[in-house]
Structure 1
Amino acid sequence: MPEARDIILIGGSAGSYSLIINILESIPFNISSAIVVVIHRNDKYPTQIEKSLSLKLKRAILPAEDKVIIENNNIYFAPPGYHLLVEPNHTFSLDISDPVNFSRPSIDVLFESAAEVYTDRCTAFLLSGANNDGAYGIKRVEHFGGTTIIQDPLDALIDTMPSSAITTSSKAKVLKNKQIINYFCSIK
């Protein structure tokens, strides 16, 4: 697969998992972007999200690994216990520095680093969650010319994250769950 020129980020926490599944189910099988998902997971409790989603969706869902080139048509998940960063050479970097907004992986960390590298070729979605993680990252994506989309707080199971991002954003589209899924159905 060729190196991804475009990146789509999805950040979510409490209450976002069902929507993330619906999003992933709607993605066409051949896309010219990489998709990177960060959800708040506790590294003390092992999960098999990537493996179970790969089986369910019949496509590779990969854990992001240190120094791996970000490729088109791949869906990556940030591993629990690590911040996930995007490096200037379009590879991932894993970091164990302090939690940000009580979270590691942090949505802000991924959004900020990806925005600096992919600039206007970065699209970030922020979904349901119970803290402010992602609000600053949304602002940074906008600063570097990327596109930002926030789940409508009325559709979020927990509206803290989307509501917080709406107050910091100057350009984000606020979409209902169905509109978000429709967006992913139409990506190429």
Structure 2
Amino acid sequence: MVVIGGSAGGPAALLRLLPALDPELDAAIAIVIHVGADSPDLLPSILEATSALPVKLATERLPVVSGIVCIAPSGYHLLVGQDRCFALSVDEKVCFSRPSIDVLFKSAGEAYRGAVVGVLLTGASSDGAQGLKRIRELGGLALIQEPAEAEVDTMPRAALEQAGADLCAPLAALAARINGFGRR
């Protein structure tokens, strides 16, 4: 499984990252991008227009399926259960956000252990750093967008300081590493 998080500048980064992914990628992808709780869920249709993979809004109890990109709905934390189905939660905000990247990353790490890749993109908070740290503790990989390339470097810098990275690079190199992870 590949889990991706971002905030400020995240949609633009995804519009560059997703088209670079192999359409035969043998990994499920879940994404949290910070949006307002009352924002319409337009991101799936925007991303699907350029993505090599199908993109949909995650729903409660939706099975995690390889080759499909699922986006966290606004106002809900997105979690991956041990049964490898998605769950939605309206628990308290984490790092002032719901959905929270940390929540997705930690739950995916617990469900997938060493078979998960966490990818942290541009953003203006530290959300995702602790989740990425947990993914690494459980044997998964941590990929971080190069801070110099990020629209806002706060999020990637926080992750580098708190979690470290298996790869810190521009988006093109992150896509190549994801494609290598998900080869059939």
1:60 aligned to 36, 54, 65, which one? 54
Give TM-score, length-normalised by structure 1.
0.90
Which of 113, 116, 134 matches 2:110?
Answer: 116
1:164 aligns with one of 158, 169, 181: 158
* 2: CA distance, partners of 1:126 / 1:59: 19
Q: Say if 2:74 is the partner of 1:95.
A: no
5+ unaligned residues in a row in structure 2: which ranges?
none
Q: Secondary structure at the match of 1:70?
A: coil
Between the aligned residues of both structures, percent identity stands at 34
- Normalising to structure 2: TM-score of the pair? 0.92
CA distance, structure 1, for counterparts of residue 101 and residue 38 of structure 2: 19
Task: Tell me the equivalent position of 1:146.
Answer: 140
User: Counterpart of 1:37 in 2: which secondary structure?
Assistant: strand
Aligned length: 182
- Structure 1 unpaired stretches of 5+: 1-6
Q: Which secondary structure does the structure 1 equivalent of 2:79 belong to?
A: strand
CA distance in 1, matches of 2:100, 2:74: 10
Q: Using the alignment, how far apart are the partners of 1:51 and 1:171 within structure 2?
A: 31
In structure 1, distance between residues paired with 2:49 and 2:115 = 30
> Does residue 45 of structure 1 match 2:42?
no
2:25 touches 2:179 (CA, 8 Å); kept in 1? no
Structure 2 residue matching 1:84: 3-state secondary structure: strand
Matched, 1:133 2:127: yes
